[in-house]
């Protein structure tokens, strides 16, 4: 289940409390295993001290606006922050990742950012053909959309024409030839990091909608990632909850997708005993040799990297 931000958050701007204008609805994700509607809101730094006061009213009105009564609501809040220096770094990273062949000669003063609470303007000094090539691409549209969706201020990009550079006047043909030569010279190859799998069948936890990456490209950090592979060394273990001394099961296993192996851990969760019991029951359907797709967080603890599983779907490796 997904809700369109444009359809459900217009009421925020219409609230009498001006602080609601500093809150933005980001997205909703439905978790079928726990019957949860997980809603994420962004808020501006200036209301950081007020957000706890706003939450009860905001959540009450959001439930009424959505109009779904037979689900459990879970609300997440993320603070937004942007300044000129951070925007300059984000722009540099974007250009380096997507247009390095056009911006190798970009000097510090060719990228300038100005603005503040009312909005930011990014000025880029580039040859006209290079600027047109960047502006006309899908990557630039996605970058500007990302900035707008994840912040409250407005962003504008101004491309100032530079007629010549060290290589003289650039044409579109020059750009394409230059790109090819740079890619060949530096042996830059676009690597497909995704792993091809067959149709997924939901099993438990968080639903998985994106394609998994190959395990060899898995990174350590707080971001959620998706991997898939064949199970081995599946082991049911037991731990004791600190707050209640209750013993609960958990599972460890290894996933192998052909590129690398990854040690995984799954702790069954559920907001109710019934939901917890269902996840435990579903987990016992797995066995060594089965192929699954998992979503979770790859984190380092006690000098060991574990993939902490949040959701599982069965699948076939292609």
Instruction: Let me know whether 47 and 116 are in one domain.
Output: no
Average pLDDT, the chain: 80
Instruction: Let me know whether 228 and 277 are in one domain.
Output: yes
Residue 25 belongs to a domain with what CATH number? 3.30.300.20
Task: Find the radius of gyration of the CA atoms of the chain.
Answer: 24
Instruction: Let me know whether 103 and 177 are in one domain.
Output: yes
- Report whether pLDDT(22) > 90: no
Tell me, yes or no, whether 158 lies in a domain: yes
Q: Which is nearest to 268 in space by CA: 243, 304, 237?
A: 237
Residue 27: the pLDDT is: 74
Q: What is the pLDDT of residues 242-254, one digit of tens each?
A: 878 888 999 999 9
Range of the domain at 261: 201-314
Instruction: Let me know whether 74 and 150 are in one domain.
Output: no
Whole-structure pTM value:
0.44
Q: Which residue has the higher pLDDT, 35 or 177?
A: 35
Instruction: Let me know whether 120 and 169 are in one domain.
Output: yes
Tell me, yes or no, whether 223 lies in a domain: yes
Q: Which of 8-22, 161-175, 279-293 is modeled with the greatest confidence?
A: 279-293
Instruction: Let me know whether 160 and 209 are in one domain.
Output: no
Q: Look at residues 16, 45, 80 and tell me which one is the last residue of a structural domain.
A: 80
- Report whether pLDDT(179) > 80: no
DSSP 244-307: T--EEEEEEEEEE-SS-EEEEEE----SSHHHHHHHHHHHTT--TT-EEEEEEEEEEETTEEEE
Tell me, yes or no, whether 46 lies in a domain: yes
60-63: list long-range contacts, CB under 8 Å, 24+ apart: 61/11, 61/15, 62/8, 62/25
Question: Residue range 303-309: average pLDDT?
Answer: 85
Contact (Cβ atoms closer than 8 angstroms) between residue 228 and residue 318? no
Question: Residue range 67-81: average pLDDT?
Answer: 80
Tell me, yes or no, whether 191 lies in a domain: no
Unique residue bearing structure tokens 């000097």: 107
Q: What is the pLDDT of residues 224-242, one digit of tens each?
A: 999 999 999 999 999 888 8
Q: Look at residues 80, 113, 139 and tell me which one is the last residue of a structural domain.
A: 80
Phi and psi, residue 198, nearest 5°: -85, -165
- Report whether pLDDT(5) > 50: no
Instruction: Let me know whether 64 and 101 are in one domain.
Output: no
Residue 297 belongs to a domain with what CATH number? 2.40.50.140
* Confidence bin at 173 (pLDDT 50/70/90): low
Instruction: Let me know whether 74 and 95 are in one domain.
Output: no
> What is the count of structural domains for the chain?
3
Instruction: Let me know whether 88 and 71 are in one domain.
Output: no
Residue 192: the pLDDT is: 77
Tell me, yes or no, whether 192 lies in a domain: no
Residue 13: the pLDDT is: 47
Q: What is the pLDDT of residues 259-296, one digit of tens each?
A: 889 999 999 988 888 888 999 999 999 999 999 999 99
Tell me, yes or no, whether 193 lies in a domain: no
Tell me, yes or no, whether 285 lies in a domain: yes
Instruction: Let me know whether 304 and 220 are in one domain.
Output: yes
Phi and psi, residue 253, nearest 5°: -165, 170
Instruction: Let me know whether 174 and 239 are in one domain.
Output: no
Q: Look at residues 53, 80, 107 and tell me which one is the last residue of a structural domain.
A: 80
Instruction: Let me know whether 161 and 218 are in one domain.
Output: no
Tell me, yes or no, whether 190 lies in a domain: no
Rounded-to-10 torsion of CA 84, 86, 88, 93: -170
């Amino acid at each position: 289940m997904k809700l369109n931000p444009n359809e459900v958050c217009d009421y925020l701007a219409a609230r009498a409390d001006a602080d609601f204008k500093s809150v933005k609805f980001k997205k909703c994700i439905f978790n079928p295993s726990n019957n949860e509607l997980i809603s994420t809101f962004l808020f501006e730094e200036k209301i950081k001290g007020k957000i706890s006061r706003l939450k009860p009213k905001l959540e009450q009105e959001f439930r009424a606006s959505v109009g779904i009564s037979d689900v459990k609501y879970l609300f997440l809040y993320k603070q937004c922050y942007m300044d000129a220096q951070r925007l300059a770094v984000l722009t540099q990273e974007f250009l380096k990742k997507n247009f390095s062949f056009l911006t190798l000669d970009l000097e510090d003063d060719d990228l300038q950012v100005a603005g503040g609470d009312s909005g930011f303007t990014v000025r880029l000094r580039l040859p006209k053909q290079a600027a047109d090539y960047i502006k006309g691409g899908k990557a630039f549209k996605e970058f500007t959309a990302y900035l707008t969706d994840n912040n409250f201020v407005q962003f504008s990009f101004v491309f100032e024409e530079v007629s010549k550079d060290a290589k003289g006047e650039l044409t579109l043909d020059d750009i394409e030839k230059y790109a090819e030569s740079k890619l060949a010279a530096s042996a830059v190859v676009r690597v497909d990091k995704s792993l091809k799998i067959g149709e997924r069948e939901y099993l438990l936890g968080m639903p998985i909608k994106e394609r998994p990456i190959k395990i060899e490209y898995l990174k350590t950090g707080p971001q959620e990632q998706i991997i898939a592979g064949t199970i081995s060394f599946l082991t049911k273990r037991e731990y004791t909850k600190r707050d209640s001394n209750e013993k609960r099961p958990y599972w460890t296993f290894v996933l192998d997708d052909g590129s690398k192996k990854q040690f995984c851990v799954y702790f069954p969760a559920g907001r109710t005993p019934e939901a917890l019991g269902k996840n435990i029951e579903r987990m016992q359907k797995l066995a060594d040799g089965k192929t699954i797709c998992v979503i979770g967080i790859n984190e380092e603890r006690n000098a060991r990297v574990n993939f902490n599983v949040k959701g599982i779907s069965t699948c076939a490796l292609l």
